[in-house]
Structures are given as C-alpha cells and as structure tokens.
Structure 1
Amino acid sequence: MTRSDQHDRFLPKDKELRARVRLFGELLGNVIHDLEGQAVFDAVEKLRRGFVSLRKDEDPDLRRQLMADITHFDASLTERVIRAFSIYFSLVNIAEEDLFYRWRRAQVSSGEPLWTGSFDQTLRELHGEGVTAEELERLLNELHYQPVFTAHPTEARRRTTMENQRRVFETADRLNQPGLGEEERRLITEELETQIQILWRTNEVRVKKPQVQDEIKYGLFYFEESLFEAIPQSYRFLEKAIRRIYGVNPDGSLPVRIPAFLHFGSWIGGDRDGNPNVTPEVTELSCRLAMEQVLREYLKRVNHLRNVLTHSSFMCQPSQAFLDSLDADSNIANAVFQGASDRFESEPYRRKLYIMRYRLRETLDTVVRRVRGEAAVLPTNSAYADAQAFLNDLKLIRDSLVSHGDRNIASGALTDLIRLVETFGFHLHHLDVRQESTVHSDAIAELLRQLAPDTDYAALDETGRQQALSELIALENLPEVDRKALGESTRETLRVFEVIQSMRREVGPDGIGTYVISMTHAASHVLEVLLLGRLAGLAGNDEEGNPFCHLRISPLFETIEDLLHVEDVLEGLLSNPVYARLLAASGNIQDVMLGYSDSCKDGGILASSWNLYEAQKKIVGITDRFGVRCQLFHGRGGTVGRGGGPTHESILAQPPATVQGRIKFTEQGEVLSYKYSNVETAVYELGMGATGVMLASRSLIRPPRKDRDDYRATMHELAQAGEDAYRELIDRTERVLDYFYEITPVQEIGFLNIGSRPSHRRKTDRSKSSIRAIPWVFGWAQARHTLPAWYGIGTALAQWRGDDPERLAQLQRMYQEWPFFRSLLSNCQMALTKADMRTAAEYARLCSDPELAERIYVLVREEHSRTVTEVLRVAQLDRLMDETPLLARSLQRRNPYLDPLNSIQIHLLRESRQFDAEADDDTDENPWLSPLLRSINAIAAGMRNTG
C-alpha cells in the first residue's frame, strides 16, 4: 500500500460526519420542541430549510419572506432561535472533533505510518534523512516548546458551557464502540439528548463581565480538563515512535533519552498592558492558584500510586539509595503514621509514598492559606521546599524499581507523574508579566529625581538615557528610595517587581517567565526594566561579586514601524557591556517577542507577514553575532488576521535556522478551547507543534537550507504592493472607520462580557490606533468581510505578475517550494472562504451613508474577487481549499446555518441602535441587546473564530 493509499484509507468519511450531525440535529430538535413548544420549533425549522434552499438556488421571493419573518419575531423568540443555531454549531464542532479523533485512532490501531506531523511520521522522515539516535537525542535536548495562555477577550463561551460540551463529546464517543447492541445504543442516545437538554438550559452568555480572577481560573481549567492527561500521553507517543523506528537497547531502554521539552506559559494575571485590573496582588494570586492546582494533581496521583506500588521487601530488594532516603524520612514518620511509625515497613514503596503524600499536603496547606490571604510560613521540616525535592523522591522509586527488574512497572503511572513534575514543577506555568514602555519611562524619570538628582531623564536623548541607566545598574550599592515621596503609579510599578521576586521564592524560580515590554522603541526601554529589577533585588552582584540576573526581559515589536527598528534596539542593547554581563549571568538567552496582531492591523497581512519573517532573520543574525542565543516569542492570535493558522505548518514556515529548537507563542481565546478542551485533541495538537519545532530545528544537526534570493526579492515587492493597497483602503479612504463601526457589531462586542480588558484604548475614539487588534478582526469577521486576513494580496499578485507568464510561473514555484509563501496563501484561502460578499453587502446597508457604504463595499468586493482569482491561479487550484477538502466541506456545510444568524444579527443591530437612539434615558432596558449578544456568540461558534 502506498503512502497516499494508506492516507486515503483512513481519511474521515464525510458520510459518517453527516450521520452524526444529523443525529445531533434531531436530538436538539426534540429538546427545542419539548421545552420551548411548537412555535419556536417551527420558526427554527422554517429558517433552517429556507436558507439551505437559498444556498442551493437563489430565490428573491423566498429571501424576502424569510427576512419578513425575522423582522416580525419579538425579542424573546429571536433569542430562542439564535440559541438553537448557536447550540447546533457547538454540536457540529463536537461531531467534527470526534470524527478526526476516530480517524487518528484508526491509524494508530493499524500499525501503519501515521499522519503528517505525528511523532511517527516525523521520526520516519528524520531517520530516512540519516539522522542517528545520537543526533536525535542532541536535537531533543535543545527542544523547548512553549504555548502561552492569554486572557485576550476572544473566547465567547463560558467555562460552564465548555464543561457541558465536553460531556457531550464523551457521551457521543461511546456510540463509536464496536459491537454496540440496539438497547445500548438507545440508552446512550437518550443520555446524549439529556446532555443536549442541559446545554439548552445553560446560559452560554456571561451575565457579568469576568474579573481577572475569573480569567485566571478559566486558564487553569485546561490543565485539569486535559493537559494533566495529555502531557504523559504525548511523551508516550514519542517513546513508541522511537521504539518503532530506532529500536531499543538490550536492557529494554530507549536508545534516545527524552528530556522534558513541553512547557507552558501564561499571561493571565500578569498582563497589565492596558488592563488596570491586573494589580500586583492579582499577580500573586495567579501564581498561588497555579501552584495550588498542580499540587492537588500530584497529591491525587501519589494517592493512586500508594495503592499500586505494593511491593513487599520479601519479594524484591530496593536500592540502597532508596532505603537511605526512607531512613532520612524517619524524623517525620510519627506525624505521617500518627504514632504507628513502623507502618508499611515491609512495603517500602508504599511507606515512601505515604510520606510523600504527607509532605505534599503540608506544602499544599501552606499555599491554600496564602491564597486566602493569610501569612503562612512553609514548615521546612515536613513540607517539600521545592519541586526538585519531590522529583528526586519519585526518581529514587523509579530507579529502585528498575534495579530489581521492574522497569515495566516503573514506566507506568510513576513515569507519567515524573513527566508532569518535569513539565510543571510546583509553578504549573511560567507567568509572564507585560507592561507598556511609557509606564517604565515615567517611573524611571521620577525615581531618578532621587537616585541621580542632577539628571533630567525626560530631557535626555537615547544615548544619554542608556548611559544614565547603565551607570545606575552597575552601581554596587544603589541609594535608598523614599517610597512615600513617589507617586502612586511609580509605587505600583516597583511593587510589581517586588512581587516577581517574592513569587520566584514561593513557587520556584520558573514561576515567573519573561517580562514583556510592549511598544519597545529603544534599547533604553529594556534597560529601564532592568534597573527596576535591580531595585527589587532581581539583578546585581552576589556577595562574591559575581553578577546574577533573575529577570528575563523581552522587547515586543508590534507595528510595521517597530519591526523596521529591530536592529537599532537589539544592537544597542547587546553591545551594552552592563546589559551583556547580566544577560550572560541569566543564561545568555535573549527573548524577543513579535506582535502579529498590531502589525497586521497597521499595514495589512502581506506587509505584516513579510516584515515579521525578515525581522526574525535579522534578530537571529544579530544575536548570533553577539554570541547570544535567541528565543523568539510569537504573539499569534487565533485568526489568520492575527497570525493564526495550523501550528505545525506555521512553525515550518519560519525562516531557515531561526527556530533553533526553541519556540514560544501565545494561545488566545477560542484557540485554547479548540485545542485543549479534550484530552484527545490536546495530545494531537501538542504532537503537531512539537514535531514542527523538531523539523524546523534541523539546522542544529544539519546544514540549514537557505531561501532563494529571487523568491525573497519577489516577496519584498509583493509586500510593498500589498501594504500600499491595504493603506489605500484603511488609511487613505475617507471615513472608512465610520463604515467599520456602523456595519459591524464592534461597539456591541464591548458589552459581551468576554474579557476584563477594555476593547478600546480610548473610548469614543474612532481612529485605527484606538481600537485594539482583537475587536478589529472580530468585527470584520462577524460582518463576513474578514478583510484583515486577505486584503491587498490580490492587488499585489496581479500587479507583480502583470501579463508576464514567466512571473506567474515564478509565483507558482514559490507556492510549491517555499513553506512561508505556501502557508501564507493557504491561510489566505481559509479567510477568503469564511468571507461572504453577498452577506457582507447586507451588513453594508447598515451604514447611515449609502454613498459611503457603496463606495467602500465595492472596493472590498472587488479586492475579494481579485484575491480569489489570483490565489487560485498561483496555487493552480480550481476552488479555494481544494488541497484541504475536509476543512473546505466543513466551512461550506456551515454557511446555510450562518446565513440566518447573519440576517438576524443585521436586523438586531438596526433595532438595538434605533432603540438606543430613541430611548429617553439610560435606564430604559434595551430588549434587543441580549439576543444581539447571543448572535455574536453564535456566529463566532459557526465560523470557529472570533478575534
């Protein structure tokens, strides 16, 4: 069987998916009919059938009739109809996820080569290239794969809703069991209907805006729901692939040692840029709640192990190192066993695990008291002081089991727990802290009035600022700062760095990740943060005069202009001897964050993508020249317009030799729930990401490939043309922002209660700089324009190729041969497919100025048509997404159900805005707002993206 035959054999069957969706639809219909009555059921069915019919064959009379029905719905009926379609989309999403899970399971069971991006396929590819076991281990040792969870407000669903949907997934999966009898199938189907009924009875829209504390718990949900299971499974899949392709050693061990390369970060509770609700106290709470959660998981697993490792000392001989550790524990044996200090003396592993459980409880109890706000001190004689001590105990048990021939037992639940501790420590995730550069500059200017009274920091140029900061950082003893003489903002800024210091002590040195500076425009912005860290004791010289630095600082380059100044900032920074000395002391790794969202909003997708690509090469070139290792931190959003796209392909599309084994990227909003709500999907996504890093890092063991100069030159010209086309619309077309605000629900998104962060930097300001990138993309998506992800590409391709067949051939070769260009146009195809120009025209009619609406809509429609034509020509396809037919069918299947929702939303926007305009005062409750907010949720679920 050939590789393609094998692939086709296991492709998910569309017939199976249709059957499952049909079942879900029938059960949902039953629930609606039983709970809401015939009128609601009939309204939903009439819209469903009518819009399905319109997709097959346009009928103006039928469309007018359906719109008339919608306008005659009262607010209550409208809300129920929206909920029906919203829950339907949730069920379709579950059906698709289950189908792909079954597909992967069938491939694994076959014993044949697995899907592209699996550990199996990736190791086969590396082995086929001649990569030895030693080289593979060298590659794995350099691997660092780190998703970073953020609270950017793009997840419209509540945690409660996601938990309910998880139960639907688990129940539906039981229908896949082979050999189910008719009665068993009936009972499972009844249970499934009950779960759907619970979904219907649950309010999917938040009643109140979430607090940061709610967002922290939301982020922690994924660890408990899937990642504590997915991490060990991911490593097991890698172990199986190594065993299958590289064999095993004579003693049964693997020929390749697998280090812990999966790590997690978070911004939730640390990202204070533009969010006044993230206080130093919130950052403390975030760290402590994370520690509490991971300790509870360890306690649960140790509880399990103490009933599994029941080996008798009469049946085996534990290692001396293990027995010595038991002796060392004798000082707390009375407390552990409550007077019966000889308990389990003949079951040494069980005895050890009881002691470990006691020590974990002591540690956990201290953390719980701190979460409550109590000043609790860790009992050093009985609690675990750090994760390493706990890990050492686990490894002692493992090594002892192996020493007497129980390697197979050691490789079970015990190894899973070791993997978790290696991954999560006691900190669970690395909490990044982010703040905007001007906050630090203002604080430093005030502080220098005390630290260097003769220096007017605000009046200094960049060279002067760097010199002043460097001299203060290098001082052996900094002067004391009079806190009472400082303003509230500066005191809070200093407090943040003190919290970083205290949390590193509490949860471990890995508890705090990177300090990210948004709007970094100069090297002095990084030195300012280093001086603030120095004042908090995070950097300086130890008692022997050796430098230390416990603060990793990452400049964030966000706009197109920022990306062009990367060289000036980094060269100024790395050539600074004071900074270089402290960077070396912290591990000599320079983090650099790249912002996808703002650069795309600023200059369009082509200019953003290309400038980010070129910036990465510049950054790595600079750090290489200074002998510093670079870790790029990608600020990717969920959608294409914010840097999104399939993770595996996105990593492979990075510039050659820039990944270098390490990658860190943000996971935002709905991306979190799509990837990590279910164990099965989380395992798949982690594998796809990790293998992407492995393949993109081959330059560590093989000479790196190089981009073709002619491809780069072409892309440079395309980016310029694309940026010009985008700016012509967004920056130079009169009143385009009025069009955006009037034809999209972007103003109403602010009422959606999906995040603690404001959607605008400045309220009532309709400028492009005021609106954040997330609602910018969210708004265009709801109105089915999706233009941030594609606008300008068609013009750029058409202008560059002209009528020259050689130029077209060049673009076609670029698509076939260059991963970056292929990924760019593949993602573009998905965004173009999610756009719908007929529906977009209906939204355009919301504009109060018909001439403005027509003028701008025509520009968008023409560019959409041009982009579709040009992309298909370059990709040599008949239809968009022909290379990904399953995804294409998924999107096409959703359109007939999105159509009624879009039509309802357009009607609701008119009614809601008219009500607000005519209301006598703010106390009048808008009856249309609630269904309107539900329509935003529902369309987001249908399109599977928000911002």
Structure 2
Amino acid sequence: MFRTPSDTQLRARVKLLGNLLGNVLRPLEDGRVLEAVEALRKGYIRLHKEDSPTSRRRLEKLIKSLDAETLTHVVRAFSIYFSLVNLAEESFQHQTRRAQVRLGGPLWNGSFDATLRGFRAQGISAAELQTLLDQAAYIPVFTAHPTESKRRTVMEHLRRIFLTTEQLDDTRTGKDRRLELVSQLEGQIQILWKTDEVRSNKPQVRDEIKNGLFYFRESLFKAVPETYRYLEKAIDRVYGPELTAGQRIRVPNILRFGSWIGGDRDGNPFVTPDTTVLALRLQKREVLRYYLSEVVNLSHVLTHSKRLCTISAPMAASLAQDEQRFAAVFGDYPQHFGQEPYRRKLYLMRYRLQHNLNAVDALIEGRSGTPFVDSYPSEQEFLADLTLMRDSLISHGDHTAAHGELQDLIRNTETFGFYLVHLDIRQESTRHTEAVAELLAQQPGLPDYSSLSEVQRLELLGDLIGRTQNFSISREPLSETSRETFEVFEVMARMRHEISPQAFGSYVISMTHAASHVMEVMFLASLAGLAGHNNNGWFCHIGISPLFETIVDLEHIQPVMTALLDNPAYAALLGCYGNLQEVMIGYSDSAKDGGILASAWSLYEAQTQITALARARGIECRLFHGRGGTVGRGGGPTHEAILSQPEGTVRGQIKFTEQGEVLSFKYSNAETAVYELSMGMTGLLKASTSLIREQKQNRADFLGVMDKLAEDGETTFRGLTDRTPGFIDYFYEVTPLTEIGLLNIGSRPSHRKKGDRSKASVRAIAWVFGWAQSRHTLPAWFGIGTALQVWRSNDPQRLATLQRMYREWPFFRALLGNTQMALFKADMGIAARYAELAENTETADAIYQTISDEYHRTVTEVLSIADATSLMQETPQLALSLARRNPYLDPLNHIQVLLLQRCRDESLPQVERDRWLSSLLRSINAIAGGLRNTG
C-alpha cells in the first residue's frame, strides 16, 4: 500500500540537504566556515529550547570575531539552506497530496474533488455547475515589485535540484541509483553555492520582463492544461453518474493571466512607451517558441496513416487549401508526409508559426523590411487548425489521441493566445489631468480645464469624447511627461493590431480620487482611436480600472463610482466594452495609511458598495485585488482570501496581483503551480454560488462590531505612526530600509519622492519589507490587540461574540488567521536588538516598548478569541515550517544588526564600512528567504 508521507520523511530530507550543503562548505577556509555555521546553528537551536544569557553573549562574540569574507560565507550558507528547506517542503507537500490521491479517500479542502462533492451535497445540479463554470474567470496578474530577490539563474538551479529530489522519492529507485542521485544533488548544490545570488547590477525593466517569462516556460505551460485535466476528471467522478446519455459538463476557458511588468509606470521612470512595446513583443516571442516546440512534438505523436484511417472532410479540405496556398513549404519533397495527413498539416503549421516568430524577432532586433506574409494573422486561426485536427481524430475513433497532448496545446492556446498575458497599464491620476489640461489648452474655444469643477469636467469630457475627430494635436508644446502619457495610448492602439486585440488587460489609474480621473483616461484613449463615437455609434477598446488605495479613497468609492457610472457617455462606452466595470482596491497603501484593521474593513465595505452600485445599474463588476505577499499587504492563502470576501461580491470573476517572492513560491515548479491554480479556482467557484443560489445576508451584529474595531484599530495605528515624535526616524534607523534601496532587486525606486522620509513617501513594499527584516512585522498586526481589548472590555459575553465571529464569519477568521502568522514571524527579543541601532535611545526605547506591549496584547487577545494555547495551533504544518526556520533566522538577524552598526558607523573609514556592505546586502536576501512572504 502507498503510505502518506510523514513529517519524519521531511525531516530526513531536510537533514540530507543540510548535510550535502555541509559537504560543500567543508573545504572553505580550512573548515572555518563550516565550523562557524555549525556553532551558530547549534547554539541558537539550544537557545530556542532554553535561554542562556551566557550562551547568547558567546554567540554574539563569535559573530563579531568573524572577518568579512567568512561572514559573507556564513550568511550565504544560511541563505542557501533556506532555499533548500523551501524546496524540501514544497516537494513534501506535493508528495503528500499525491499520496492522498492514490489512497482514493477524501482529498484536501480546496481540491476539485472535495469542492465538487461539497456542491453535490448542497444540491447544486449539473446545469447549475455549468452556469458557474461558464461565468468563471480566474486572473492572477504578475508584477515586478521589488521583493523577489532571486536571480533567474538561481531559480533555474533550484528547479533542477527540485527535480532531482523528486526522483529520490520514487519508490522504484534502487540503492545504487539513490547513491547516484545523492551525488548528483551534492554537485547541484555545489554549483548553486558557486553562483552569486546577488545581482552585480540593478535590474533593468527588460530583466524583470524576462524573469516573469521564466514561470511560463518552466512551469505554467505544463501546469495550465494539467489543472484543467484534474478539473475534468473530478467532474466526471462526481457528476458523471447523474448525467444522461449525450449530456456533458463542458469546462470553458477559466484561467487567464495578466502582467504589470513593462506596463506599470506609476513611480517608475524606467517604464517608457518603448518598454511596453518590448514587453509585448517578448511575451509574444515566448509563447510562439512554445507553440513551435509543441507542434514539432505532436508531429511525432500524430503519425496516423490515411491508409488506416479516414480524416474528416473539413480536415481534408483545410489540408488541401494549405497545400495549394503554401506550396513552397515542401520544396523538393512535395510528397513529404504524403500518407500522414496530421504530420503534413503540422508541418505546414510549423512553417507558418516560424514566420510569426521570425517577424517578432525582426521587430525586437530592430530589423524591418522583411515580409512574413505566410504567418498566422491571429491566434484564432492557429486555434482553428488545432481544433480541426482534434475533431478529425474524434471522427475516426481516436479519442485518446484527441484529448492528449493536442488538447493540452488547445488549452494553452485558448489561455495564452499570441500575447501570453494581458498586459495592464498603470499610471498615476495627476499625470492624466496634466496631459488633458495641456491638450485642451491647444483647442480654441475650450475653457481652462484646471479651473473647472468636478461636475464641469465630467460634462466637458463626456461631450468631447464623442467628437475627438475634430481635434488637432500638436506634440511640441506638450511637456515631456504629458507627451509620454499620450504616447502610451498610441502604443496601445498600435500594439492591439500588431500583437492581438487581447494584448492588453486594464488601464489602471492609481490614486483615483474623482470620477473625472477615469473620464480623463477615456478622453486620452479616444484621441488615440481606442474609444469614441463614429458613424456606427459608440465604440470602446479599452477597459479602465480605477484604483482606490488609501482609507479616505476607499470611503469615497461610492460617490466617485456613482458619478462615473451615471455619466451618459461613460455608460454608453462601458456598454460597448461588454458592460463590465473593473475596480481595483489597494491593500498595501490603505494598510500603511490607517493600519491593518481599518484597511481590511474599509476594503470590505468598499467591495459591498461598488458591487451593489453596479448591480443596480445592470453592470457586471469585477474586483481587482492589489494584494501583496505578506499579510500587511493583503497576503495570505488565496483560497481562504477569496472565501473571506463579502457575500455576493465575487460573481464568477476575480483578479489579483501576484507579487515578489510569491511568484517563485507558487509558480517555480509545475507541481506546485497546479495546486495553487486549483485552490484559487475552487475558491472562486465556492465564492460565486450567489450566481445560482440566493445570497446569504451579512450578519448585522457582526458588522457593527467591526465598525468599532476598525475605528479603534486605526486610532491606535495612527497614534504610533503619525503622532508619535521620532517614529519615522525609528523606522529608518532600526530597519535596513536605506540598505534595501542599495540591493539590486527591482527597477522601481523605494520612495515615491526622492529624499522625502515621510510615511506617505515610502512605498508600501519597502515599508513592509523593512519591518519584516527587523522582525517587528507591525504593519500586519499593530492596533488589533488594543481594538479587541477595548471592545471586549473583560465582558465574557463580548468575548463569546468575538469567538462566534471567528467560527462563523470567514472574513474575521481569515483576518485573525493571517494575524497569527504575522505574530508568529515577529520576535520582540530580536526587534529589541534592532532598536539599539536608533540614535535617540530614550525615544527609541519608548517606541519599542509601545510596539512590544501591543504585540503581547495582540497575542493574548487573538489566542482568547481563537480559543487556542499557541499561535497557529489550527495550522500545525505551517507552524512547524516556520518554527523550523527560527533557529536559522536568529543568527542572521544578529549578524545583520552587527553589519548595520558597522556600515553606518561614520567614525570608520569609508573603505572599512564598504568592506561589510556585501555581507549586509546578502543578509537581507537570506532573511527574506527564511521568512518567505515578506513584501
């Protein structure tokens, strides 16, 4: 019998990888590196079991005694150890799930099988399930936010190590082969050790685009069709017995992917119109290369002879037409594959795809003048050829061949087209206002736009969008920023023709404060021919997504969206775009602005309001969640996050950002990517049942409690971050924020305004990343403890209410569940060591004490509500995973504190300070790897 893997096997794997890393370290500096690593590792493990001031001082003395080179080796050793542990855990989780499938019993919560069985138990019919599937759209959006510190080269090495460990888990592997694999693993770890994990230069946007493409090439092209296959099998198992003859449940194209990489220009001066063009072309090249390789592979699979089967009439007609149209393909061998019609068709398809690839290569390389007239004009024609072959195979009984590799390619073509991902464009609202004001100033008889009221702006823009053909635009008088803003719309119009009409996702407007901010974008789009009014009526080829980020913006979402949706011109244009309004809500800035409680509750209420507004007008609303990797930026398990959304606000579609290290955690390996996509899709289907069943009403008593908790949480958070003298200095001095800016992990600056040290200027990513490094993690929990304590007020009945909210309300449960994870990762003892870096000791001590007191208060309150004795008691596997890292994180944090002291010590010569900088930057990478979702 196949047994479910136990944690003993995981520990054994971690030990094996640790020993192999030790073998690699042993020769370094005559063994001194391994000796230091082992002393620190074992010493801090003992301290976790029993604190000893004497042992702690001895370990800190050891750290101080290490020279720069040895210290760099020690930091790198711990960093690589974390990478290996992450791989071991990922492989173990995959093996555990695979074992559950083989055992044939109930599968994990969130699996397709468990979800569909739950639907059956609720009485959801096959027809209702089909309705859910037909309206489903699950859209992860990849971003290049600077929290992913791994180089692409390092990710490729880790992928190879993962695949080797997978072979070790094969029970058929003999003793000799296992020894070979272990030796191979050691060699791979040695190469990883000798590969620099820190970039020597700051990445350009082009590098970030290529990093994003890595996940499709290495994982998603395999994971997407496999995910669909698992869903189809689960449907057959669960609903198959009740289907009548000839009836089937069809799985449509549910998965779509978006990207901000090369399109997100908000605060990033390096994303230009040319960058956006490059991103689209690189994406197209990536997917064409994949299609070409798969068409070649299929030609070795579909070797059917026409002597032994009869292809369908449409297939025969298509092949004859292609043979006539592309006669030159076969050259001196006109009968090449003459008896094998599928191979002959695939050979013609390969020829055409190669022309597509040659064309995009020429554009990327700046070559022009070469015609590629035989290429596919669109993904639809390529897809039509694939489905034609599938239908033909079915017609002569080859169902297995039709639904094998060929069906996988069809699924991927439906998902990725010739564009790979839908590229979103993002820009800050004032850039559009400035551009519109300058453009209107060129037109005689129009008012001064900047002097108009909001109502007047909406009226003017609505009128102008319908008659932009009369505009005469001169570029020379425009400021450089306005000229570039307008050029982006021209690029969008051009690339829709060059790449695909589906090349773009949404135009996202950050810092949306008014309805006119959306209408300004629509006006600029109309000037580029993307929207407007012509002889055939209104037309619109652009979807605009206003982004509401701060607490104040979220509170104003109702009046802003009411004014927008009630504007006649906008309503007409929206109708032409499928009557679908996307609204983006920002978790990061709202949490930095008013704290996690106020942010979470403002987001909850905003979603309820905008969904109701849209529904009252007969408009579909898709919410775009700007989530980060960590809890302080809306992170947490995707399945639970979707289910925690307000009742009735998820109606078949959901879109969310996948940022930073979350990408490598979820999508580096196809096996994990399938699991993550499945969990997200099932969360979406569960949350969308209001499409087919009456919506449950929100609990009014719970809502009132949350109103008060959010109010007190925000007051507490702002009291610390906005009204405590010296707090911002404390943040800069006790976290490696400044040094994070020196680490070459992203093209975007860490501040909105250079030199501005205010909370508002610091980007939310850097804000969360800095607090995580110093083990405060306060953005994810500060204010929760006080809010809960004040409302509970030692009243047992109120505690019982909070406990009921935790049991019965997915939103509240997810909020406190994620809070527990952030509290678990915090360490007030280590945070105290970072607090010693502050220049004003008295102020720093007071601020640290406030943070520490709130930490302990929050732990106490959360455990009382969860009725638990320890944090993450309900998620023991995750708790064990995080606990396994702590003894290895502790020495890194103490090393980082020492390095920050040395690098900031102005009494030391600059050359001496610079000597420690490399180790410091590597420590940031290492701690991020240990904490995982940190940004």
> The TM-score by the shorter chain falls in which range?
over 0.9
Q: Is 1:78 the counterpart of 2:71 in the alignment? A: yes
Distance 2:478 2:873 in 1: 62
Seen in structure 2, the aligned counterparts of structure 1 residues 343 and 777 have a Cα distance that, compared at 3 Å, is same
Match of 1:232 in 2: 225
Q: Is 1:485 the counterpart of 2:477 in the alignment? A: yes
Distance 1:363 1:82 in 2: 47
Match of 1:521 in 2: 513
Match of 1:395 in 2: 387
Q: Which runs of 5+ in 2 are unaligned?
A: none
Match of 2:791 in 1: 800
**Amino acid across the alignment from 2:253:** A
Distance 1:293 1:663 in 2: 26
Seen in structure 2, the aligned counterparts of structure 1 residues 302 and 254 have a Cα distance that, compared at 3 Å, is farther
Distance 1:126 1:680 in 2: 26
Distance 2:371 2:824 in 1: 56
Give, in angstroms, the shift of residue 340 of structure 1. 2.8
Give, in angstroms, the shift of residue 918 of structure 1. 4.3
| Deviation by residue 1:900-943 (Cα, 9 ceiling, x = unmatched) | 000000000000001x56446xx887111100000000101111
| Deviation by residue 1:512-541 (Cα, 9 ceiling, x = unmatched) | 110000000000000100010000000123
1:558·1:599 contact (CA, 8 Å) conserved in 2?
yes
**Amino acid across the alignment from 2:341:** P
1:287·1:427 contact (CA, 8 Å) conserved in 2?
yes
Match of 1:447 in 2: 439
| Deviation by residue 1:321-368 (Cα, 9 ceiling, x = unmatched) | 111111221233422111433332321111111111111111111011
Give, in angstroms, the shift of residue 376 of structure 1. 5.4
**In the alignment, which of 214, 220, 231 is matched to residue 213 of structure 2?**
220
**In the alignment, which of 138, 143, 146 is matched to residue 139 of structure 2?**
146
Q: Is 1:364 the counterpart of 2:357 in the alignment? A: yes
1:248·1:254 contact (CA, 8 Å) conserved in 2?
no
Query: Which deviates more from structure 2 when the two are superposed, residues 336-345 or residues 124-133?
Result: 336-345
3-state SS of paired residue (2:80): helix
| Deviation by residue 1:265-310 (Cα, 9 ceiling, x = unmatched) | 0000000000000000000000000000001101111101112111
Match of 1:582 in 2: 573
Seen in structure 2, the aligned counterparts of structure 1 residues 342 and 251 have a Cα distance that, compared at 3 Å, is farther
**Amino acid across the alignment from 1:936:** I
Distance 1:10 1:659 in 2: 38
Distance 1:477 1:324 in 2: 45
**In the alignment, which of 413, 416, 423 is matched to residue 415 of structure 2?**
423
Match of 1:63 in 2: 56
Give, in angstroms, the shift of residue 705 of structure 1. 1.4
Give, in angstroms, the shift of residue 377 of structure 1. 6.5
Match of 2:756 in 1: 765
Match of 1:686 in 2: 677
Match of 1:3 in 2: none
Runs (4 or more) in structure 1 with deviation over 3 Å come to: 9-12, 248-254, 375-380, 916-920
Output aligned runs, 1:746-895, within 5 Å. Answer: 746-895=737-886
**In the alignment, which of 881, 888, 900 is matched to residue 891 of structure 2?**
900
Give, in angstroms, the shift of residue 586 of structure 1. 1.0
Match of 1:637 in 2: 628
Distance 2:245 2:281 in 1: 41
Q: Is 1:39 the counterpart of 2:39 in the alignment? A: no
Distance 1:852 1:250 in 2: 71
Distance 2:817 2:354 in 1: 51
Seen in structure 2, the aligned counterparts of structure 1 residues 554 and 737 have a Cα distance that, compared at 3 Å, is same
**Amino acid across the alignment from 1:289:** L
2:469·2:527 contact (CA, 8 Å) conserved in 1?
no
TM-score (norm 1): 0.97
Identity %: 57
2:311·2:393 contact (CA, 8 Å) conserved in 1?
yes
3-state SS of paired residue (2:883): helix
Q: Is 1:410 the counterpart of 2:402 in the alignment? A: yes
Match of 1:505 in 2: 497
| Deviation by residue 1:840-890 (Cα, 9 ceiling, x = unmatched) | 111111111111111011111110100000000001111110100011011
Q: Which runs of 5+ in 1 are unaligned?
A: 1-5
Seen in structure 2, the aligned counterparts of structure 1 residues 44 and 250 have a Cα distance that, compared at 3 Å, is closer
Distance 1:11 1:699 in 2: 37
**In the alignment, which of 581, 600, 605 is matched to residue 596 of structure 2?**
605
Query: Which deviates more from structure 2 when the two are superposed, residues 551-560 or residues 325-334?
Result: 325-334
Instruction: Please tell me the root mean square deviation across aligned C-alpha atoms, in Å.
Output: 1.6
**Amino acid across the alignment from 1:699:** S
**Amino acid across the alignment from 1:78:** L
| Deviation by residue 1:649-686 (Cα, 9 ceiling, x = unmatched) | 00000011111000000000000000000010000000
Give, in angstroms, the shift of residue 765 of structure 1. 1.9
Output aligned runs, 1:266-665, within 5 Å. Answer: 266-375=259-368, 379-380=372-373, 382-475=374-467, 477-542=469-534, 544-665=535-656
2:28·2:34 contact (CA, 8 Å) conserved in 1?
no
Distance 1:836 1:488 in 2: 48
1:10·1:103 contact (CA, 8 Å) conserved in 2?
no
Q: Is 1:944 the counterpart of 2:935 in the alignment? A: no
1:777·1:788 contact (CA, 8 Å) conserved in 2?
yes
Distance 1:819 1:415 in 2: 37
**Amino acid across the alignment from 1:408:** T
Distance 1:378 1:36 in 2: 60
Distance 1:852 1:302 in 2: 67
**Amino acid across the alignment from 1:587:** G
1:363·1:378 contact (CA, 8 Å) conserved in 2?
no
Distance 1:248 1:484 in 2: 70
Distance 1:806 1:628 in 2: 42
2:507·2:543 contact (CA, 8 Å) conserved in 1?
yes
**Amino acid across the alignment from 1:942:** G
| Deviation by residue 1:35-87 (Cα, 9 ceiling, x = unmatched) | 44311111111111111111111111111111111112111111011011111
Query: Which deviates more from structure 2 when the two are superposed, residues 554-563 or residues 243-252?
Result: 243-252
Seen in structure 2, the aligned counterparts of structure 1 residues 636 and 377 have a Cα distance that, compared at 3 Å, is farther
Give, in angstroms, the shift of residue 131 of structure 1. 1.3
3-state SS of paired residue (2:158): helix
Distance 2:520 2:145 in 1: 26
3-state SS of paired residue (1:873): helix
Query: Which deviates more from structure 2 when the two are superposed, residues 605-614 or residues 166-175?
Result: 166-175
Give, in angstroms, the shift of residue 812 of structure 1. 0.3
Give the number of aligned pairs: 935
**Amino acid across the alignment from 1:466:** L
| Deviation by residue 1:102-155 (Cα, 9 ceiling, x = unmatched) | 001101112222111011111111111111111111110000000000001010
2:4·2:100 contact (CA, 8 Å) conserved in 1?
no
| Deviation by residue 1:608-652 (Cα, 9 ceiling, x = unmatched) | 001001100001011111111101100000000000000000000
**Amino acid across the alignment from 2:922:** R
Give, in angstroms, the shift of residue 159 of structure 1. 0.9
Distance 2:319 2:698 in 1: 58
Output aligned runs, 1:154-165, within 5 Å. Answer: 154-165=147-158
TM-score (norm 2): 0.98
